[in-house]
């Protein structure tokens, strides 16, 4: 089950999906994204629990209530964390792909919390404060988990990283890995858009978690395969 980043449609994951043809995969467009209609007025700001419960309802509609491996990118990782806490029986494993910080904002004034296309006046706004409380209150599930993060120094986009942002981001990923009992995989050729920059790496991580979930064994990462996909394990 693939949960995309802020304002991104499910097709954002296509480079990864192309590398997983033998697995049953599900993506979805949150309301107002891709071809999905906006939420009706008044469309107030919503915390991550609202997105998580919408996802659960969608899977129920598709008769897909069984446990699945979640792959969440950016705020998709935050939604996955809350989803796993609210619907633990649905979660077989989790792959966090450069997950956003619980407080969301790294550089106030330059980031928006609108979950939609740039400038969309009807986009749903994330309730960042309530959402942060939900994430911090969500105990990680005891399931196979991996955490992936971007290449240090590749903040992404045309702007340089705000002062201290690189260190804050990496520390956040290390904390998530520690809390979930997971290795931290560092991409060597990616900015924030790891599913696009290094889809082989993301697909490999998903397969590793999927195999662990099926077999009831710890996640196994082959060092040679990890190197070939352009990544290494964080040593801290």
CATH number of the domain within which 99 lies: 3.40.50.1820
**Residue 108, φ and ψ in degrees, nearest 5:** -55, 140
The mean pLDDT of 55-82, rounded to a whole number, is 95
The mean pLDDT of 15-34, rounded to a whole number, is 96
pLDDT at 153 over 80: yes
Number of domains in the chain: 1
Give the pLDDT band of residue 101 (cuts 50, 70, 90): very high
**Percentages (nearest 5) of helix, strand, coil residues in the chain:** 40, 15, 50
The mean pLDDT of 66-75, rounded to a whole number, is 96
Give the span between the Cα atoms of 78 and 62, in whole angstroms: 23
Q: 0.85 exceeded by the pTM?
A: yes
> And the tokens for 50?
């609202």
Q: Which residues of 185-195 are buried (b: 16+ CB within 10 A; e: fewer)?
A: bbbbebbbbbb
The percent of residues in the chain predicted with pLDDT above 70, rounded, is 97
34 closest CA partner among 98, 100, 120: 120
Residue 233, CA distances (Å) to 3, 182, 186, 188 in order? 24, 11, 6, 10
Reduced to 3 states (helix: H, G, I; strand: E, B; else coil), residue 106 is coil
pLDDT value of position 110:
65
User: Which residue range forms the structural domain that includes residue 160?
Assistant: 2-233
- Give the model confidence (pLDDT) of 113-143 as tens digits: 999 988 898 999 999 999 999 999 999 999 9
- Give the model confidence (pLDDT) of 185-227 as tens digits: 999 999 999 999 999 999 999 999 999 999 999 999 999 999 9
């Amino acid at each position: 089950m693939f949960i995309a980043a802020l304002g991104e449609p499910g097709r954002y994951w296509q480079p990864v999906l192309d590398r997983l043809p033998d697995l049953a995969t599900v993506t979805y467009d949150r309301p107002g994204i891709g071809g999905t209609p906006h939420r009706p007025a008044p469309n107030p700001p919503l915390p991550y629990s609202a997105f998580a419960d919408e996802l659960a309802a969608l899977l129920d509609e598709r008769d897909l209530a069984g446990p699945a491996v979640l792959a969440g990118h950016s705020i998709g990782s935050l939604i996955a964390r809350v989803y796993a806490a609210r619907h633990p029986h649905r979660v077989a494993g989790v792959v966090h792909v450069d997950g956003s910080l619980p407080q969301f904002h790294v550089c106030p004034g330059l980031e928006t919390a609108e979950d939609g296309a740039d400038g969309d006046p009807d986009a749903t706004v994330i309730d960042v404060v309530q959402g942060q409380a939900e994430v911090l209150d969500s105990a990680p599930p005891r399931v196979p988990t991996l955490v992936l993060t971007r290449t240090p120094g590749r903040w992404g986009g045309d702007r340089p990283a705000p002062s201290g942002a690189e260190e804050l981001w990496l520390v956040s990923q290390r904390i998530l890995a520690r809390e979930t009992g997971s290795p931290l995989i560092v991409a060597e050729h990616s900015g924030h858009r790891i599913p696009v920059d290094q889809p082989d790496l993301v697909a490999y991580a998903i397969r590793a978690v999927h195999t662990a979930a099926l077999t009831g064994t710890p996640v196994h990462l082959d060092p040679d395969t990890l190197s070939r996909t352009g990544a290494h394990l964080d040593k801290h």
